[in-house]
Amino acid sequence: MAGQAARRRWLPVAVVLSLPTACVGPTDRTVVTGRILPKQIRFVTLREATPGEEGGQRSACVHIRITRANTSESVLCRFGVETPLRTHEGVISLPLAQRIAADRINEASQAVFSSATLDSPLGMLCELMKAQLRTTFEASLAGARFRAQCDERAPPVLFGNVNL
């Protein structure tokens, strides 16, 4: 019993997304702080849009290190996001695509990690975040796609502790 109380006193889960962290504290509640900034999402253009028509495609590759702070156990959560360059509503600027991607990633991490517990498997947290992100990202913009695998032309951007 004393061992359980000691385990619950401090930080069994830390999720680092640039500056953000998710921590389970004395009340078993996870707190996510910090945010991925839009400018940190690096899109590459895969296919130009035909002038005056919908289409084109840009892609970004995101790697997020999820770490359990009390044991240093970690997993690398990898995924890609894609947006069109032009929809029926007009041109999708790079800053707009970056903002949509960053906002949806931040929202998904908040939703998933705020309900994490001491015993939440890190791989499961990654999969839950990706499922949440797939739903919200694809609903944010016509033609936006979540990808379980990154396009090899999009260089990965690592969020979290790169020294693990």
> Measured between alpha carbons, how far is 26 from 53 in angstroms, rounded to an integer?
55
Structure tokens at 56: 């084109």
pLDDT at 11: 34
- From first to last of its 164 residues, what are the pLDDT tens digits of the chain? 444 443 333 333 444 433 344 444 444 545 455 579 999 999 999 999 988 888 999 999 999 988 877 777 889 999 999 999 999 989 999 999 999 999 999 999 989 988 888 788 999 999 999 999 999 999 999 999 999 999 999 999 998 765 54
Q: How far is CA 92 from CA 65, 101, 133, 144, 162, in A?
A: 29, 12, 20, 11, 31
Question: What does 79-92 look like in DSSP terms, one character per residue?
Answer: EEEEE-SEETTEE-
DSSP 43-56: -EEEEPPPTTSSB-
Burial bucket for residue 163 (CB in 10 Å: 0-12, 13-18, 19+): exposed
Closest CA to 45 of 54, 33, 56, 34: 56
CA dist 134 and 152 (Å) reads 19
Query: So what's the pLDDT on residue 79?
Result: 97
For the entire predicted model, the pTM comes to 0.80
